[in-house]
Structure 1
Amino acid sequence: MADLDAQQLLREAQHRTGLSDWADEGFPERFALSVAHINGIAMDAAGRAAATENALWLLTDRLKFFEDRKRLPLAEEVIDRPMFVSGEPRSGTTLMHALLAVDPGARALRFWEVMHPAPPPGTLEGTDPRIATADAEWREINAKMPRWLHCHPYNDMLGDGLPEDERSWAFDFRVMTPTAWWRVPMQNLSFGLPSDPPAQYRIHKAMLQALQYRRPLRHWVLKGFHTTRLDAFFDAYPDASLVWLHRDPVMVAASSTMMMADIMDGVVGKIDLVKEARAHVERVRWSIGNTMAHPLANDPRIQHVRYRDFVTDPIGVIRAYYAFADRSLSPEAEAAMRRYLAENKGDRHGKFHYSTQVLVDAGYDIAALNREFAPFRERFGVEIEQR
């Protein structure tokens, strides 16, 4: 099968929808970079066919999403004092987000919404058919990547699961995540595509506005890797609060490496663990360097929390975050959170095994890494984990 043709795909998406506005002059060029990345991967005809349909899915979603924004007063929706969870990967952020999301007074992004974001759910009556569609897609994902459930059991929520905020940028082709590209035999691409944080947050906010439109008003609880984009984040959400979980950077790198190995095993097969470990150590170095240098890391809208403290007393930490965000944790919300903890054990789909040995095998001296991250540990009170 021939390489994907970016211009032909753009024209086909316009033909399928009868729409033509990409809402960004630079979008066609950026999409072409993503297509070039796909064309650089050795895939068979079935893989290229899957990539073609995947690209068309995202392109048509984009056209319909921005058309909704032109025909409906979505921009008038006020996103009031949203609560965000952030931190390094594998730092308890998903569990904290899951607990915040069971508050009856809260609203969280759901996979069925971000995977198929048009039209706004509030414009439909009855059961939204996208829920069943996304449930089926998640059953396909879980069948293809069964080991992912070991490190991320939340995938059993299917279409009602909780995406990271970055997933809202899939149709902007700034990230190529497993939950958008699982049918295509390639590794995800989180770095290397053009980044424009202000533009990305405009899309994120537009999605929240669309999902809030004509639905009961609740406060938003969200999760994403916002700590490396704090300027644009607070420009977009000046009244937001953010709880920032901090964990041992060495363990973050080890756990992230093995998580990606579990995800990719079902997509491309075994991956080079040495290469993967080195990539994660470098990413952690970059992120921790940003944390230590960025002046907004001290912003009063941010509450810093140790991973150990959250794991020890999740409800206590959440209660403190609500107070920090000037909100009240209702008895109903606390009861729902305690029920979630009792009914959703982290190892319900099997144990996730990881240790620093994967970094040792990649040539790292763990003691040297611990010395390297000592200033970070001292600043945030993060202890060395042993595993």
Structure 2
Amino acid sequence: MSDVAEKIRLTDLANPVLTEIQSGALAYSQTQPVTLTSEAVLAAAQAGTGLSDFGAPDFRERLAVWMHAGDTDAELSAAGRGTLFSEAVRLASNRLQLEDTVRRHPEILDIEIERPLIIAGLPRSGTTYTLQLMSADPRLRSLPHWEAVRPIAAPWIKDGKDTRYDTCAAEWAQMDAVMPYIKMIHEFSPDHISEDIELQGLDFGGYYFEWIAHVPEWRDYQFAHDATSVMRYVRKAMQVLSWQKGPNRWVSKCPQHMEQLLAVKGAFPDSYIVINHRDPVASIQSAITGIAYGARLTRTRVDMQGIADYWIDRYERLLRACVRDRDQLDPAQSYDLYFHELMADPFGQLERVYQGAGVPFDGQTRDAFQQAIDANKRGKHGQLAYNLREDFGIEPAAIRERFQFYYDRFPEVRIEVK
């Protein structure tokens, strides 16, 4: 059997040829209209959980911006609106359950989140690979997808069994049936280790909804407000999760931490921050291809130029914030991890991370990492073939010139896309 992953070229990004299942999903969504207001979201969450206490009220302003931004997205399809609403209700419901758990068990807030390892880095820059390997270490607590989407166990215990894993597996099978190439872009299987964007979402922070809808209003709101309070809510969620099932030393990641470095440090002063670096052009071509593929369901038309323009600008904001803030991190509590070095020598690079973070790196660690490497080979589901020129009419050199400030600050970054 060949180790070379199959390369698949999506030729219908701009003018999608829908499958029967996709057409059916779009038709069904037309029969299920939603009201994108914060009031509707919170009422649905309260009705679904039987709970009413959302905790500190500051999140309500953020939720209102989310909903207004989505509601005024003129090309968001009925399916896109439904996704935005249902995700907001899920997060609000999870928040209600989390707050209820803390109210009944106030000792949760005494749990120390001990020196977490937090990974930043652009999408597709090796952050997922790094996280998958480190999450194999039983000394570190991570967030599998089945737990990320339903973090509070109690409501999902049926006849003594936790049903969250099986529920997530069924949802993944459904998503795979509707959008079969998603697994090559971003896997959402139950065991896949999730980003802490899910935990930021409990406080209605983070850029999660930017991946679903065209919401520059929400993007701009984020840049105008400090994210430290949102990251403190992430810490609270980690306390609850560690109380449910330890340990209490976390490994977590989110690409948006590239622009949240100081907020992360403000909420987790003893954290060890790993910043993954890769040619941003390689990251962009993967990200916008994935967004364009998903747009066949979430948008009324696939605006290839609009997708490229928004996300190239978004990447520039991420990178400029990283360059601005990187040197404010203590060198003894941070590490720059380069993609080509990680791929060439994952054990060597992670041993350096562990050394910096004060985690012993021994034979058991190597064995756990090797098992994770064997289970997470790149392209195990096949790989998409990306082409900026043909699909988006963009010259890679033009993006690279725009990002020269990043290459100047991190000259070790290797150019991948010519």
Do they fold alike, i.e. is TM over 0.5?
A: yes
Query: 2:76, 2:299 within 8 Å by CA — same for their partners in 1?
Result: no
Give the drift of 1:85: 1.7
SS at the partner of 2:250?
strand
- For residues 94-105 of structure 1, what are the structure 2 equivalents within 5 Å? 94-105=128-139
Give the drift of 1:214: 4.9
Query: 2:80, 2:299 within 8 Å by CA — same for their partners in 1?
Result: no
> CA offsets, 1:269-309, max 9 Å, x none?
86222221122221222222222222545531110121111
> CA offsets, 1:125-170, max 9 Å, x none?
9642212112222222222322121233x43xx2222111112122
Supply the AA of the counterpart residue of 1:328: P
1:67 aligns with 2:100: yes
1:351 aligns with 2:379: no
1:304 aligns with 2:336: yes
* CA distance 1:96–1:25, shift in 2 (3 Å): same
Q: Percent identity?
A: 27
Query: 1:145, 1:266 within 8 Å by CA — same for their partners in 2?
Result: no
- For residues 323-362 of structure 1, what are the structure 2 equivalents within 5 Å? 323-357=355-389, 361-362=393-394
Query: 2:70, 2:215 within 8 Å by CA — same for their partners in 1?
Result: no
Counterpart of 2:228 in structure 1 is: 198
One of 150, 154, 163 as aligned partner of 1:116 = 150
Give the drift of 1:221: 1.2
TM-score, with normalisation over the residues of structure 1?
Answer: 0.85
The whole-number CA distance in structure 2 between the counterparts of 1:12 and 1:95 is: 36
Query: 1:164, 1:222 within 8 Å by CA — same for their partners in 2?
Result: yes
One of 209, 212, 224 as aligned partner of 2:254 = 224
1:169 aligns with 2:200: yes
One of 364, 367, 376 as aligned partner of 2:397 = 367
One of 93, 96, 100 as aligned partner of 2:127 = 93
SS at the partner of 2:381?
coil
1:213 aligns with 2:243: yes
Query: 2:239, 2:248 within 8 Å by CA — same for their partners in 1?
Result: no
Counterpart of 1:39 in structure 2 is: 71
SS at the partner of 1:304?
strand
The whole-number CA distance in structure 1 between the counterparts of 2:417 and 2:89 is: 46
Give the drift of 1:80: 0.7
SS at the partner of 1:107?
coil
Supply the AA of the counterpart residue of 2:403: F
The whole-number CA distance in structure 2 between the counterparts of 1:46 and 1:310 is: 38
- Structure 1 residue ranges without an equivalent (≥5): none
For these two proteins, the number of residue pairs brought into alignment is: 378
The whole-number CA distance in structure 2 between the counterparts of 1:51 and 1:370 is: 33
* CA distance 1:187–1:349, shift in 2 (3 Å): farther
The whole-number CA distance in structure 1 between the counterparts of 2:192 and 2:375 is: 16
Supply the AA of the counterpart residue of 1:172: D
Moved more, 82-91 or 266-275: 266-275
Supply the AA of the counterpart residue of 2:110: E
The whole-number CA distance in structure 1 between the counterparts of 2:81 and 2:296 is: 19
The whole-number CA distance in structure 2 between the counterparts of 1:117 and 1:63 is: 11
Give the drift of 1:377: 2.2
Supply the AA of the counterpart residue of 1:67: D
Query: 1:65, 1:119 within 8 Å by CA — same for their partners in 2?
Result: no
* CA distance 1:295–1:3, shift in 2 (3 Å): closer
* CA distance 1:254–1:132, shift in 2 (3 Å): same
SS at the partner of 1:191?
helix
Higher relative contact order (CA 8 A, sep 6+): 2
Query: 2:77, 2:297 within 8 Å by CA — same for their partners in 1?
Result: no
1:279 aligns with 2:310: yes
Give the drift of 1:263: 3.5
SS at the partner of 1:386?
coil
